[in-house]
A and B are shown apart, each in its own frame.
Chain A
Amino acid sequence: MRNIQTIAWKEVKTYFASPMAYVVAASFLAITGFFFVASVSDPFSEASIRGYVAGAIFFMVFLSPALTMRLLAEEQKLGTLELLMTSPVREWEIVIGKFIAAFVMLALMVAGTLYFVIVLAWYGDPDIGPILTGYLGVLLYGSATLAIGLMASALSSNQLVSLVVGAGLLTALTVSNFVADRLTGVAEEIVSNFQLGSSFSVFDTSSFGVVEGGHFADFARGILSVTDIAYYVSITAVFLFITVVLLESRRWR
């Protein structure tokens, strides 16, 4: 437990000392801010955060791997992984520590959007339920994307490779409904159930194109479903586990 804390704290401090975290946070706030404003600027628009949430989960496909790409790739490049793995620290402690650091950054970014809620409450009469589930959904979805990004970071000592692999995997999981549409039977069931969540209909520009899909849909509508929560928690756990296995396998090479 202490090792996890030590590693997480070190990584959070490194985030604050590096430009990448600021660039990611600024892009996140700018993009989600734009989508929030656009979604509530229509005539007769509803006082909800759906626009923000849609923008957030769409751009996390790129922003999460950008947050995680350094975490393990750089340790491999600098060779510091050798020192880490010869210290009395377990691989899973390294992985969880780094994941927590990335999640703290993501949570801080998401916390930076809370003023949307204040704006809504000031000018309108928002339904608090979908707002709460929306934020919960963003955090759960975010943790799944961070776990996938962290795994990509364990694959290579090159940060750019990690970024591309992470974003590629996340894109594939986001658009898997296109694949599912062309499948039948069990295969269709499996592929469509693995859709990470999507928030835009690419071809539908009415109602700002917000058509939530995948496991994310219910969160956006204010519905809490055990299946969806279990899905994101499982994706996070599975990819963190793969990351641990990847690190352990380095010993045997």
Chain B
Amino acid sequence: MIRLEHMSKSYGDYPAVIDVSAYIQQGEIVGFLGPNGAGKTTTMRVLTGFTPPTEGTAAIAGYDVVSHSLDARRHIGYLPESVPLYLDMTVMDYLRYMGQLRAMSRKWIDERLPVIIETVRLGEYQNTLVGKLSKGYRQRVGIAQAIIHEPDVLIMDEPTIGIDPIQVVETRSLISELGGEHTLILSSHILPEVSAICRRVLVIHEGRIVADDDPENLSDRLQHAERIEVSLRGAESSEAISQLRKLQHVVDVRRDSRPAQERMAETGVVALVVDARPDEGAPEDVARTIVDSGWGLVNLHPLPMTLEEIFLELTTDEEAPV
């Protein structure tokens, strides 16, 4: 359904996307995962025909996005990250307009609109001006315009960014529902979000695809290290470090050098970061060692890996144990 072949896109001298190839089958739900500026939006803009690739090709439903742009565009519904909407139109007028631009007949739109309004749960706001809606509701209008013409391919750029947590949950479940009917691509910089919705994840970093896997495998690949934040009282940091390093599953121990932790050192609290092999009970071992040594355990906190670290893992450590 979607084909990217050696696609590169540069803005002037700046390469935004470099040699990306991917095939996405009909009905797949694919997540583009990557930090800001990784090239997710650029890839989506190439797929939607908004900007042509500098090199290589992209095709939607067999239509090249450059040479058969209009045909390709007929098969997509697109929700850009900024959720652009005409603020001075009512929800219904806006959706009707977008439907007509996607070559839908008036009669068809009138039949389809109530269904769409129901799907995105906009019922009570259908005659409200878009400009008066909150961010979360505007997001729903944005999703509605993307699905009004029942496109084969649905492309959503950061669909949950900037809305409150309750609406994030609702939006995710809405997107999951849509996944059943459409080939769906969404981008995110949040791993759990992608894991929850998508069955395939393309990790994009600095313009390249660095991983293409299902979420479970990806998590396994990433969780080969467990990081624990420890604060303790009554020991010199060098002494504590050498003690903790002796533990079986601990890989490395170092001082936490963040400013807040450095300030704590003045009050006699030693802040450390412990890297350990995962799922081997390292936090318990660390806690026991500290207590047995007669020190005061102030804080022990297993840290989830940040996205930046995940990308660092994927891009620098090829021999990571699977």
A interface residues, Cβ below 8 angstroms from B: 2-3, 6-7, 10, 13-14, 17-18, 78-90, 251-253
Which 5 A-B pairs have CB atoms at the shortest separation, nearest pair first?
A: A79-B84, A86-B48, A80-B84, A6-B100, A87-B101
Q: Are A83 and B74 in contact (CB under 8 A)?
A: no
Q: Are A252 and B145 in contact (CB under 8 A)?
A: no
Q: Are A253 and B73 in contact (CB under 8 A)?
A: no
Q: Are B102 and A83 in contact (CB under 8 A)?
A: no
Q: Are A78 and B73 in contact (CB under 8 A)?
A: no
Measured CA separation A85–B78 after assembly (Å): 11
Given the known interface contacts A3-B101, A10-B97, A252-B51, the answer about A86 and B88 at a Cβ–Cβ threshold of 8 Å is no
**Contact partners of A86 in chain B: CB under 8 A:** 48-50, 73, 76, 78
Q: Are A87 and B88 in contact (CB under 8 A)?
A: no
Sample (27) of A-B pairs whose CB atoms are under 8 Å apart: A2-B100, A6-B97, A6-B101, A7-B101, A18-B88, A78-B87, A79-B84, A80-B84, A81-B84, A83-B78, A83-B98, A84-B101, A86-B73, A86-B76, A87-B73, A87-B101, A87-B102, A88-B74, A88-B101, A88-B102, A88-B103, A89-B101, A90-B70, A251-B50, A252-B51, A252-B52, A253-B51
**Contact partners of A83 in chain B: CB under 8 A:** 78, 80, 84, 98, 145
CB-nearest residue of chain B to A78 = B84
A120 to chain B, nearest CB (A): 40
Measured CA separation A233–B100 after assembly (Å): 30
CB-nearest residue of chain B to A251 = B51
B1 close to chain A: CB less than 8 A? no
Measured CA separation A9–B50 after assembly (Å): 24
Q: Are B101 and A14 in contact (CB under 8 A)?
A: no
A7 to chain B, nearest CB (A): 8
Measured CA separation A7–B49 after assembly (Å): 20
B153 to chain A, nearest CB (A): 11
**Contact partners of A18 in chain B: CB under 8 A:** 88
How many pairs of residues, A versus B, come closer than 8 Å at their CB atoms?
Answer: 66
> Scoring B residues 107 to 150 as 1 if CB is less than 8 Å from chain A, else 0, what string do you get?
00000000000000000000000000000000000000100000
Q: Are A78 and B86 in contact (CB under 8 A)?
A: yes
Q: Are B97 and A2 in contact (CB under 8 A)?
A: no
**Contact partners of B78 in chain A: CB under 8 A:** 82-83, 86
Measured CA separation A13–B93 after assembly (Å): 10
**Contact partners of B11 in chain A: CB under 8 A:** 253
A96 to chain B, nearest CB (A): 14
Q: Are A85 and B82 in contact (CB under 8 A)?
A: no
**Contact partners of B73 in chain A: CB under 8 A:** 86-88
Q: 18 extra interchain contacts, Cβ-Cβ under 8 A, other than A13-B93, A14-B89?
A: A2-B100, A3-B103, A14-B88, A78-B84, A81-B84, A82-B78, A82-B84, A83-B84, A84-B101, A85-B50, A86-B48, A87-B98, A87-B101, A88-B70, A88-B73, A88-B74, A251-B50, A252-B51
Measured CA separation A14–B86 after assembly (Å): 10
A84 to chain B, nearest CB (A): 7
B24 close to chain A: CB less than 8 A? no
A189 to chain B, nearest CB (A): 41
> Scoring B residues 69 to 81 as 1 if CB is less than 8 Å from chain A, else 0, what string do you get?
0110110101010
Measured CA separation A84–B78 after assembly (Å): 10
A168 to chain B, nearest CB (A): 28
B266 to chain A, nearest CB (A): 49
**Contact partners of A252 in chain B: CB under 8 A:** 51-52
* Most chain B beta-carbon contacts within 10 A, residue among A7, A14, A85, A252: A85
A97 to chain B, nearest CB (A): 10
B314 close to chain A: CB less than 8 A? no
B190 close to chain A: CB less than 8 A? no
Q: State which residues 45-71 of B face A: CB under 8 Å.
A: 45, 48-52, 70-71
Choose among A7, A82, A88, A89 the residue that contacts B80 (Cβ–Cβ < 8 A): A82
B86 to chain A, nearest CB (A): 6
A90 to chain B, nearest CB (A): 7
**Contact partners of B145 in chain A: CB under 8 A:** 83
Measured CA separation A3–B73 after assembly (Å): 14
Given the known interface contacts A83-B80, A88-B103, A89-B101, the answer about A78 and B85 at a Cβ–Cβ threshold of 8 Å is yes
**Contact partners of B89 in chain A: CB under 8 A:** 10, 14
A243 to chain B, nearest CB (A): 18
**Contact partners of B76 in chain A: CB under 8 A:** 86
CB-nearest residue of chain A to B12 = A253
CB-nearest residue of chain B to A84 = B101
Q: Are A79 and B82 in contact (CB under 8 A)?
A: yes
**Contact partners of B102 in chain A: CB under 8 A:** 87-88
Measured CA separation A6–B103 after assembly (Å): 10
Measured CA separation A88–B89 after assembly (Å): 21
CB-nearest residue of chain A to B146 = A83
Measured CA separation A89–B48 after assembly (Å): 13
**Contact partners of B70 in chain A: CB under 8 A:** 88, 90
Measured CA separation A10–B100 after assembly (Å): 11
